[in-house]
Amino acid sequence: MTRSFRHKRSSCLSHESLEVRAYLSADLGSASRALSRQVEWHGHTVDARADTWVVRTASAAATGAVVSSASLASLNLASNWQSTSLGDGFYSLKTPGASTQDVLGWAARTQGVAYVEPDFMIAPTAIPNDPSFGTLWGLNNIGQSGGLANADINAPEAWNTTTGSRGVVIAVIDTGLDYNHPDLAANAWSNPGEVAGDGIDNDRNGKIDDVHGYDFVNNDADPMDDNGHGTHTAGTIGAVGNNGVGVVGVNWQVSIMGLKFLAGDGSGSTSGAVAAINYATQMRRDFGINIVATNNSWGGGGASNALRDAITAGGQAGILFVAAAGNEAANNETTPSYPANYTSDAIISVAATDRSNNLASFSNYGVTTVDLGAPGVSILSTTPGNTYASYSGTSMATPHVTGTVAILAAAYPQATSAQIRTAILASTTPIASLTGKVATGGLLNAASALQYLAGVTTPTPTPTPTPTPTDPLEPNDSISTATSVFIVDGRATVTGFIGDGANATGDIDLFGIDLAAGSILTVDVDARSLSPASPLDSYLRLFSDSGSQLAFNDDFNGSLDSYLSFTVPTAGTYYIGVSSFNNSSYNPLASGSLQAGDTTGAYSTIFSVAMPALVADIVDVTPDPRSTAVDSISIAFNRAVTGLDLADLQLVRDGLNVSLAGAVVASTNGVNWVLSGLAGSTSSTGVYTLSLNASASGIVDAGNLPLSASASDSWTVTSAVLIDAGDTLATAAAIPVTVGSVRLSGTIGDGRNRAKDVDLYRVTLLAGQRFVVDIDARSLSGSSTLDSYLRLFNASGKQLASNDDFGGSYDSYLVYTARTAGTYYVGVSGYGNFNYTSTREASGRNGSTGVYQIALGFSAMPASTASNSIRVMGTRDSNNRLEFARQAAFATFTANCSAAIPSTPYRNLARR
């Protein structure tokens, strides 16, 4: 909060403590910066975005179903909390003023929340640099620059099989992509469902004009790289080959999607990473984009359930997640590096090697947690603005593996992601430096991976359709000719045959059904489970009336039959398409827009429609117990209703009715209602219960279904517990807690010193113990007049740390790690009284006054010094800012270099 009416103030922090600190964080949906807090999480101290959490809903975690992008308002949010959808049941939740205990308590008592976790910070950090310049030794090492011949991935041998395909898409999740770079432009992904620059979400994926990908830092459709790291990894994956310009990637031809979640300074957050991964998953699963892998040359932070689950969902959709192992020269077995350390069949974790087949000096390793090695030292690749540079890091090793995934997918389009992963890990070149260091003990070998995959995949022949009598449902291959389905008593059964129409194996049967908002549609296709079994391997899709895919399913419950369940967001006609597997990307608006299916045969489809009971939830009042009145309470329904008024509500305190006169209940959407104007009715101490009565309430949904059950919530209002904290070290209030936390109430200005009042608290800390102090005054319900000031002293009264304002409010907050065991003192005063002497009463100036609550937290163990930030895993080699001319040769260092070298000609680096 900016205060223009007085001088700008800053937090004073002595050299003895560096624990009160702020980070710059990329904020999903804006370019603004956010302060971070250090949070105690599962026994570790992690950096997380202040007042921000990542939430996953229970239904998405359990079923993996497509979830509405609506807010979390239906899940009992406090009135000042705000949520933003990250896609597929994940949300970013902002909770101003709420403590960790408040948020965890909400999650524990709220049905529909699978888990909540901090929004871990992602930030850049320095890594080892190597000044040696090398050409593309990682692809073809002939011993250049003192390297070991054949210490490479055998790219030329792989190119004898294929040089890639632009039908294969790789998503680079990083700092962005310079899609105008002359050596990348032809291989930059172009969204086939989007019209550039028309301001319309043509493909209806929720993103407007996302032609080359998306920018989750600035929440726009331009993923242009403003750092260089993402463009560098993209060049290794797929700089255009055989074009007479610059370098060549592992793939000469490929499509590279830019998903930017790291800002120009390399920083980002878990929520941005989750949103980027979910975008890639959505584009493959729901829109048929052939994304075979994401490149993830970044890592760090705490273990995130949201990030792990997003990766798993991508893996289930057929996307491999290739991750950098880390650059701390650490053993990932004992010091985990995320996301590389997550256990998932979708992940390939990559260490870095040098040109002599040594494990890079900076590279992390792990005999069960890191899969293989790849070239990662002095790797030349593309950088923004038609430039090239040499970088080192596991960031540079990772795209060699991602590029190999693309090569394999181009050579064998029918191969599954599991087959491709197995081929890469089973075909590495054994090298001594990786023995006992990575799971395979070897170096990536693209040519051998192709050979391995050739031995386990064979093209699936297209079967000859079985003759069958003419189907009376035909033609029904488009929405305009769809067969209508009429539900009787919640159910309808339709039989059909795929392969009997004019489109043969590309046959599609489309069915139209009218559905009410909030209803649940299930579609169950039986073919292989029929008696006798049908040869059809079915594929099931659900569309809106405009032809946008809303859900799909291939195989269900271990069989080749299909099944899906869908909650209807708005009333209307919906369309269900049944086809053969492999015919999964047809246009439902145009008959004949098909691919040849793999099988044909008869099937039976059961359509079931159910309307869930209408229920309400009175959102829990927090904090509870509390010492202040409640001004408003939220009431949430599972779908829009009408008829709610004050007569349906009853407020009771200690068993006696309390009048709701002056209160108002209102809603803007019929789903989320707010009962406001309660402060006068809830200011007395006691136990309150607010009830919503279902009987004779008149509350109904759009289908005139009544509220099925009553709802209620209770809370307690108590007098504030004041502790008599003295004004000097000698009279300080002793805090007996040494591990865990305690919360107390106090008042500045209640003693004889009035505006010069100081409250001092005495605590005992162990050496290395982390200590957190959090003042709430302005953030209290009903607010307080106190503008707090916080100081920390040692036993002799020397100030060790201080804080005035934190997180944009007038409240104070600090974190301190004790260097030595002993007694410490916390001083609370009003702003203006910040230079008092802790050993002498009334020694300061008049300051702000008012009530406050103080939370004191004590860590269970000495604070770890390990970094919890997430960062890019590679950076430019020192003194190697190289710029190539447009015709594949470079002459000089760019202007920002500190020294120049003689012009040196280079041969064309592209293989022919």
Catalytic residues: 174, 229, 395
Contacts of 423 (CB under 8 A, 6+ apart): 408, 415, 449, 450, 452, 453, 456
State the Cα–Cα distance between residues 674 and 778, nearest whole angstrom: 23
Amino acid of residue 392: S
> Cα separations (Å) of 239 from 179, 191, 910?
11, 19, 9
State the Cα–Cα distance between residues 598 and 579, nearest whole angstrom: 10
Among 102, 99, 119, smallest CA distance to 34 is for 119
State the Cα–Cα distance between residues 12 and 219, nearest whole angstrom: 35
State the Cα–Cα distance between residues 707 and 635, nearest whole angstrom: 13
Residues 664, 756: contact at Cβ < 8 Å?
no
Residues 544, 608: contact at Cβ < 8 Å?
no
Among 314, 313, 312, 179, smallest CA distance to 258 is for 179
Residue 235 backbone phi and psi in degrees, to 5 = -65, -35
- Tell me: cis bond preceding 588? Omega within 30 of 0 counts: no
Half-sphere exposure at residue 345, Cβ-oriented, CA atoms within 13 angstroms: 10
Contacts of 134 (CB under 8 A, 6+ apart): 144, 145, 147, 355, 377, 378, 379, 380, 390
Among 123, 399, 99, 131, smallest CA distance to 266 is for 123
State the Cα–Cα distance between residues 794 and 669, nearest whole angstrom: 55
Supply the DSSP string of 352-398, one letter for each residue.
EE-TTSPBPTT--BBTTT--EEEE-SSEEEEETTTEEEEEESHHHHH
The per-type count for the chain, helices as H runs and strands as E runs, is 9, 47
CB-CB neighbours of 736 under 10 Å? 8
State the Cα–Cα distance between residues 158 and 447, nearest whole angstrom: 4
